[in-house]
C-alpha cells in the first residue's frame, strides 16, 4: 500500500530512505542557456562562470545558471544533461568546501568545485583552467 512521506508517494516495499531526503532543484525552463549574475559576485567569478557556460553550451548541453536547491543553497551552474553541478569558489578554505559538499549532497547530483586562481588576469589562462573541470558526458 503506498504511503505519502514528505510529500512523495512511496511504495512500502520499495521505500528508499535516501530518496526521501533529496532536495528539489528548482529552475525555470525559460532560464536554460541564460547567463545570470548575482550582485555580490566578483568580476573574476563572473568571468569564470561565463567561460564555463560558453564551453558547456558549445557541447550542446542544457545548462542553467544560479539554480536554487530548495531551502539549501544556490548553484552557480547546473548541467541538466549530465546531472552535474558546478560551483565556482574564490575562497581557499577547506572547511568551506566541505560545508558546500555536504549541502549539495542533499540534491543527489554530482558536484564539481572549481577553485579559482587568485591572481589570474589573462582570460586565456582562465579559460584553459576552467575547461579542465568540464565533464563532457
* Buried residues in 64-84 as b, exposed as e (16+ CB within 10 A): bbbbebeeebebbbbbeebeb
Strand partners for 74: 68
Residue 20: predicted pLDDT: 44
Tens of pLDDT, residue by residue over 14-38, are 445 454 445 677 778 888 888 888 8
The confidence score (pLDDT) of residue 22 equals 56
* Strand order, beta sheet including 84-89: 25-26, 63-69, 73-79, 84-89, 110-115
Q: Which CATH architecture has domain 23-131?
A: 3-Layer(aba) Sandwich (3.40)
- State the pLDDT at residue 62: 92
Residue 15 pLDDT: 44
pLDDT at site 135: 86
Q: Residue count of the chain, please give it.
A: 137
CA distance 51 to 45: 10
Which runs of E-coded beta strand occur in 29-100?
A: 63-69, 73-79, 84-89
| Rounded-to-integer distance, Cα 104 and Cα 43, Å | 24
Residue 8 — very low, low, confident or very high, per pLDDT cuts 50/70/90?
Answer: low
pLDDT in tens, 69-119: 877 778 889 998 888 889 888 777 777 777 767 777 766 778 888 888 777
Amino acid at each position: 500500500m503506498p504511503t505519502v512521506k514528505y510529500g512523495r508517494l512511496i511504495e512500502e516495499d520499495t521505500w528508499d530512505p535516501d530518496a526521501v531526503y533529496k532536495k528539489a532543484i528548482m529552475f525555470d525552463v525559460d532560464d536554460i542557456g541564460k547567463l545570470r549574475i548575482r550582485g555580490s559576485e566578483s568580476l573574476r567569478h563572473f568571468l569564470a562562470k561565463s567561460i564555463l557556460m560558453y564551453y558547456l553550451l558549445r557541447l550542446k548541453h542544457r545548462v542553467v545558471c544560479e539554480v536554487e536547491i530548495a531551502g539549501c543553497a544556490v548553484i552557480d551552474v547546473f548541467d541538466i544533461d549530465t546531472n552535474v553541478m558546478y560551483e565556482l569558489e574564490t575562497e581557499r578554505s577547506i572547511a568551506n568546501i566541505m560545508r558546500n559538499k555536504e549541502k549539495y549532497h542533499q540534491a543527489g547530483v554530482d558536484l564539481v568545485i572549481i577553485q579559482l586562481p587568485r591572481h589570474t588576469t589573462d582570460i586565456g589562462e582562465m579559460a584553459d583552467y576552467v575547461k579542465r573541470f568540464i565533464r563532457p558526458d
